[in-house]
Amino acid sequence: MTYHKNKLALACEGPYAVHTISQVLHDEARGKDLEIAISYPDSGVKNLPWILFSHGAYGSKEGYRPLIKHWVSHGFVCIQPTHEDSLRYFIKERRLGLSGAASESNSQFGKSLDKLEDDYARWQDISFKKWRTRPRDMKFVLDSIDTILADAQEVSIDKSNLGIGGHSFGSHTALLLGGTVVGDKNIGYTREFRDDRAIAFLLMSPQGRGARFEDVAIFDDDAWREFERPMMCLTGTNDVVSDTQDWVWRKDAFNLSETSETVSKYLAIINGGYHGFGGIVGKRFAGAGPDNEEHADYTKALSLAFWNAFLKGDEACKLYLDQYQIVADTNGEVEFSVK
């Protein structure tokens, strides 16, 4: 171990038991159902701060349990929607489509597998082109919060005390809600997805300039100029999913956003850290990397300090961040920047 866990107090589990329930919301305007998970602490405390979290590509509301559990055990409520790109939906559709596969000959079944690969490749491409559906899902959750709470009476939140977070493609979603300017050759440039209801934004493996796929949302040099709310960007030096998307690229949102005397912004880089942050966000995807307890703890500590500082007004956690204490607590394994 390169650090003493008892020094990294913010990585330790909180005092509250964690409960999770599921709901299905119906969006009449878009003609779709939206599955959500609601995780809440057994605290007896009313009007808790809450976090709306967007999963990465192909994920779901079932993911990120170590991270969600950590936040909730410290007195936060967390809501996670399952977006349309979830692998669960693709698998469900394919199971329905291949329901007769058991009666096929071996050669026919081989053709089915080839078709599965072709379908999956097409589905991947279409999924990223549906990027607009994700911020709309998040806004729909925010618009539906009274309905959500009416059906989950054991959950108590302060609706005005909201943080938004995301991982990978989920960070793209969170950036849009934060007011990042986005565009493509079809729509021009817009901030239409901005939502003013959130106080702070946690961006794990965020997107940088450009776009991976044609027709997918593009960020340019000016995309973050008017991002005027607190943000924390997290990445690692092995946070690479393609030749053009390395960890340096993931610093763009922090580096190109305006410096402000009144709005705090943070960048944390885990030395040797992968896209999966030590297993805390799941590891069944390309570039996730191996399980690593230290990296998972760094992520827990940094994210909790951020939420505590900006959703709970915890001055000790604000100082922890502003005074670069995470660098000392990890023996320099985390590089930290503040502006």
Give the H/E segment covering residue 178: helix 169-178
pLDDT (0 to 100) of residue 117: 64
Q: The CATH number of the domain where 31 resides is what?
A: 3.40.50.1820
Assess whether 112 and 27 both reside in one domain.
no
Residue 53 included in any domain: yes
- CB contact at 8 A, 231 and 203: yes
- The pLDDT of residue 109 is above 50: no
Q: Which domain holds residue 311?
A: 9-85+134-338
Q: Please give the tally of structural domains in the chain.
A: 2
| Whether residues 74 and 95 fall in one domain | no
pLDDT band at residue 187 under the 50/70/90 scheme? low
Q: Which of 114, 129, 144 is the last residue of a domain?
A: 129
- Of 94, 129, 164, the one marking the end of a domain is 129
- Please check whether residues 115 and 237 belong to one and the same domain: no
Based on the fold, state whether residues 232 and 318 are members of the same structural domain. Answer: yes
Phi and psi of 235, rounded to 5°? -155, -175
Q: In the structure, what pLDDT confidence band is assigned to residue 2 with cuts at 50, 70 and 90?
A: very low
Lowest mean pLDDT among 154-168, 179-193, 293-307: 179-193
Lowest mean pLDDT among 38-47, 80-89, 106-115, 198-207: 106-115
Q: Which residues of 219-251 are buried (b: 16+ CB within 10 A; e: fewer)?
A: beeebbeebebbbbbbbbebbbbeeebbbebbb
Number of CB atoms found within 10 A of residue 13's CB? 11
Which pLDDT band, with edges at 50, 70 and 90, does 127 fall under? confident
Let me know if residue 4 belongs to a domain: no
**Residue 280 forms part of a structural domain:** yes
* 21 within some domain: yes
Judge whether 214 lies within some domain.
yes
Specify whether 26 is located in the same domain as 81. yes
Q: Are residues 334 and 194 in the same domain?
A: yes
For residues 180 and 118, membership in a common domain is answered with: no
pLDDT (0 to 100) of residue 277: 96
